[in-house]
Structure 1
Amino acid sequence: MLHAVTDWDLAYNNTANIPDGGSWPARWVEPAEAFRNRLQAAGRARLGLSYGPKPRNLYDLFLPEGASKGLVVYVHGGFWMGLDRSYWSHLAAGPLAHGFAVAMPQYTLCPESRISGITREIGAAITAAAGQVAGAVVLVGHSAGGHLVSRMACQDSPLDLDLRSRLAHIVSISGLHDLRPLCQTFRCEPLGLIGDEVVNESPALQSPLDGTRLTCWVGAMETSEFRRQSSLLANIWCGLGASTALVEEADRHHYNVIDGLAEPDHPLVRCLIA
């Protein structure tokens, strides 16, 4: 049975709902830096590539051994208001082991930008990275990043027709797909959630591109709102002709749900590149 939400801020506060939640994102810093240094020493990392004119319009590109089978783009979370590309480098390990190049962009944060502006920036970042690597393009994002990769598969996607045709799979991990509930949180004002922005930037309120393949992946230990947001998009887009799947990974919360990307044989990686 679903229950009415009485505290919207708490429903979207992952740190408060996870034991020792305050230890993230610091837990990711050391493994990400070590991985990045190792790939750079091996000549398989291109760091700080530009995709646009703004200071945060940068991405890192990690290359597999040998020719690339395609490109995976990982888009980070942080409620559109925090973090950068440096926290996640080690998550490239899984796709790299299967021969995929991995791009990790960052973007201008709110409130300096609006979410619609971030959507356009991620479109530009994917376009730039896809120009470096031939083949299929797979998009994966976490939390706010899950929202952003889902936006790439909406009918008003900022990607051009050629790049849309290369999209093989969208994986939204703990994504935020309907922005209307966030209007009832303290984040409403800094995110600029007013007027048409709320509807236009909600993938669950938009139609998917023809041929879209979407997986919504969420931790079974996450809050009811994050689980609902994942099931919502998978359900709605299935009814609009997309091929969708919903996975609730056991014993995973909002932060450690992405850790499987660092493991070549983890089900998340297998799903991503299948």
Structure 2
Amino acid sequence: MSQDTLDDAYANAAYIPGADAFPLRWAETAAAFREGMSEAGAAELNIPYGPSARQRFDLFLPEGTAKGLLVFVHGGYWLRFDKSYWSGFAAGAVQAGWAVAMPSYDLCPDVSIADITQQIAHMIPVAADMVAGPIVLVGHSAGGHLVARMCVPGVLPETVAERVVRVMPISPVADLRPLLRTSMNDAFKLDLAAAEAESPALMVPREGIAVVVWVGAEERPVFLEQAAALAEAWGCPCVIDPGKHHFDVVDGMAEVGSRMLARLLPDL
């Protein structure tokens, strides 16, 4: 498959009507959510977890004692976005009684994908020290890759890894090898060894973590293939969400009664 063909295969916005409006909508909803949570004294913003300016996370707290910690890791092909776009997607879990941490991280080409993996692995213990109880990890697209990487033994500190009970990679990129032949690799600078070393679909997850892969039925075929590959490799369920594309597949995180949250937090 040629570079142009692969670039098209991994292009989401070109195949989503009104794609340009989604980031603005996310950002507006996120700002309103942060303002409301801050006014209620239920938000701690820009908590540092590393030395760079982007290594910060926001923590949103429920009423009363949190049932545990949910970490949501955003996507954007490791190239774009930050936590400020995604705050609104904490709403469902917060209403369900969970504390939600949302990190930013450094982006390619300033750092490598492996560096970003390590940043998220450093962030989760900082948030875990602030909230007791079980830990649930959720990530969208590149964030789906990152939370899947957290399932691999040796990535998180053992005391933190033992608390991780459920992980949901949403529309993840689980096998990075195809990206070697895309124009995005000009920023990723992956070679085959690096791509393999960052591909959860080529790895074995830690025992005791319930993993559910989630993907939209209307996504680009490669994302359906990526989701299926991770689910097959890890022997876990893959939920194909009817009518959802790459940009709205994550909407269920904002709705306390959604199918997504019912699957993610059914008995916790």
TM-score range, shorter chain: over 0.9
Q: Percent identity?
A: 44
**1:218 counterpart (197, 215, 220):** 215
Inter-partner Cα distance in structure 2 for 1:54 and 1:80: 16
Figure out how many residues of one structure are paired with residues of the other and give that number: 266
Aligned to 1:162: 159
Cα pair 1:155 1:206 within 8 Å, conserved: no
Q: What per-residue deviation string (whole Å, max 9, x for no partner) do you get for residues 116-151 of structure 1?
A: 000000011111101100000000000000000000
- In structure 2, relative to structure 1, the CA distance for the partners of 1:231 and 1:5 (3 Å cut) is farther
**2:57 counterpart (56, 59, 66):** 59
Q: CA deviation at 1:4?
A: 11
Q: What per-residue deviation string (whole Å, max 9, x for no partner) do you get for residues 155-198 of structure 1?
A: 241x1111111011010000000001111111112012114210
CA RMSD for the aligned pairs? Answer: 1.5
Inter-partner Cα distance in structure 2 for 1:82 and 1:189: 15
**1:25 counterpart (23, 26, 31):** 23
Cα pair 1:72 1:102 within 8 Å, conserved: yes
Cα pair 1:35 1:90 within 8 Å, conserved: yes
**2:242 counterpart (244, 247, 250):** 250
Aligned to 1:14: 12
Q: CA deviation at 1:219?
A: 0.5
Q: CA deviation at 1:17?
A: 1.2
Inter-partner Cα distance in structure 2 for 1:6 and 1:44: 47
Aligned to 1:71: 69
Aligned to 2:45: 47
What SS is found at the alignment partner of 2:20?
helix
Aligned to 2:196: 199
Q: One-letter code of the match for 1:108?
A: D
Aligned to 1:147: 145
* Unaligned 5+ runs, structure 2: none
Q: One-letter code of the match for 2:253?
A: L
Inter-partner Cα distance in structure 2 for 1:212 and 1:231: 18
1:183 aligns with 2:169: no
Cα pair 2:2 2:181 within 8 Å, conserved: no
* Unaligned 5+ runs, structure 1: 239-243
Aligned to 2:261: 269
TM-score, normalized by length of structure 2? 0.96
